[in-house]
């Protein structure tokens, strides 16, 4: 299958490009920040969350998850695109007996796999951090911890799809990176946005009053639409 071949080749290209370091540092950095937060204010936070310390830890971590997701999608999309932009290898790549659609899809899947790996690290790291803080191992809310990591990720997929499209289209990464940083900052005010606004979906997917079906389902559908639009444009574009 052409997509599988292209994806395998992209994995090989990424080994020395720092993308996996980004995957690890994003989640570990978030956990380290909360480890420091609880370490410096342990007695205060333990008293504040005495009814459910695990819920308190999850809430403290989640307050930074949307901005971390948006920044992560921006940087990972840019790193994926820069593999080809940096070596000026588009012509050689597209001259191979593989469709442009497969090339675009492989890079899209690579980004999703990288982001999912970061979410998995965050889930496992949250459990480790809670145990290190001496929270009860008998009351670990595994499902909530998985929701903390993966549900906002699904809701944030439209930005990744858009960032990858722009990053692959423009050799100069100023536009997609500026857009991603702007979206990250704007996500800090997500509580003030209407429910239909995509930047609010990562927050609403975890803390929304209603079912997370709208932000998660909307995120997946909108990301797929952007993916199709990006692939259509990529197929017809002359790439230097």
- What is the pTM for the complete model shown? 0.91
Angle between helices 157-169 and 174-186 (to 10 degrees): 160
Q: How far is CA 6 from CA 78, 86, 102, 103, 115, in A?
A: 18, 18, 7, 6, 19
- pLDDT of 240 strictly over 60: no
With a CB cutoff of 8 Å and minimum separation 6, the contacts of 121 are 23, 24, 27, 28
For residue 177, give the nearest of 160, 157, 163 by alpha carbon: 163
Convert 70-108 to b/e letters by CB count within 10 Å (16 or more is b). Answer: bbbbbbbbbbbbbbbbeeeebeebeeeebeeebbbbbbb
pLDDT band at 183 (very low <50, low <70, confident <90, very high): very high
User: Rounded CA gap, 83 and 93, in Å?
Assistant: 11
Contact 208, 221 (CB under 8 A): no
The string of DSSP letters for 40-94 reads HSHHHHHHHTTT-HHHHHHHHHHTTHHHHHHHHHHHHHHHHHHHHHHHT-HHHHH
User: Rounded CA gap, 45 and 182, in Å?
Assistant: 31
User: Rounded CA gap, 160 and 135, in Å?
Assistant: 35
pLDDT band at 209 (very low <50, low <70, confident <90, very high): low
Q: Tell me the per-residue pLDDT of 115-130, one tens digit each, with 9 for 90 and over.
A: 999 999 999 999 999 9
- pLDDT of 2 strictly over 90: no
Q: Tell me the per-residue pLDDT of 40-95, one tens digit each, with 9 for 90 and over.
A: 998 899 999 988 999 999 999 999 999 999 999 999 999 998 888 877 777 777 77
Domain ranges, residue 25: 2-236
Q: What is the mean pLDDT of residues 145-151?
A: 91
pLDDT band at 10 (very low <50, low <70, confident <90, very high): confident
The number of domains in the chain is 1
Q: How far is CA 21 from CA 15, 59, 79, 84, 117, in A?
A: 10, 26, 11, 19, 11
User: Rounded CA gap, 205 and 216, in Å?
Assistant: 6
pLDDT over 90 percentage in the chain: 59
Confidence at residue 115, expressed as pLDDT on a 0 to 100 scale: 94
pLDDT band at 191 (very low <50, low <70, confident <90, very high): confident
Q: Tell me the per-residue pLDDT of 81-134, one tens digit each, with 9 for 90 and over.
A: 888 887 777 777 777 778 888 889 999 999 999 999 999 999 999 999 999 999
For residue 90, give the nearest of 234, 198, 214 by alpha carbon: 234
Phi/psi region, residue 134 (left: phi>0; alpha: psi -120 to 50; beta: rest), is left
């Amino acid at each position: 299958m052409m997509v599988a071949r292209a994806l395998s080749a992209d994995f090989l290209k990424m080994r020395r490009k720092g993308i996996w370091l980004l995957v690890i540092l994003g989640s570990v950095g978030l956990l380290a920040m909360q480890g420091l937060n609880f370490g410096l204010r342990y007695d205060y936070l333990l008293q504040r969350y005495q009814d459910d310390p695990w819920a308190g830890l999850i809430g403290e971590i989640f307050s930074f998850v949307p901005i971390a997701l948006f920044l992560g999608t921006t940087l990972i999309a840019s790193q994926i695109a820069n593999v080809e932009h940096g070596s000026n290898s588009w012509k050689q790549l597209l001259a191979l007996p593989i469709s442009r659609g497969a090339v675009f899809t492989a890079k899209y899947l690579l980004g999703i796999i990288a982001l999912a790996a970061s979410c998995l690290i965050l889930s496992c790291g949250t459990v480790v951090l809670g145990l290190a803080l001496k929270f009860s191992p008998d009351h670990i809310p595994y499902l909530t911890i998985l929701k903390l990591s993966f549900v906002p990720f699904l809701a944030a997929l439209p930005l990744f799809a858009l960032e990858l499209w722009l990053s692959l289209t423009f050799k100069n990464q100023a536009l997609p990176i500026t857009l991603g940083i702007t979206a990250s900052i704007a996500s800090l005010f997500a509580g003030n946005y209407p429910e239909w606004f995509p930047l609010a979906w990562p927050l609403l997917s975890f803390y929304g009053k209603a079912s997370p079906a709208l932000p998660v389902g909307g995120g997946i559908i909108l990301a797929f639409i952007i993916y199709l639009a990006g692939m259509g444009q990529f197929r017809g574009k002359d790439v230097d």
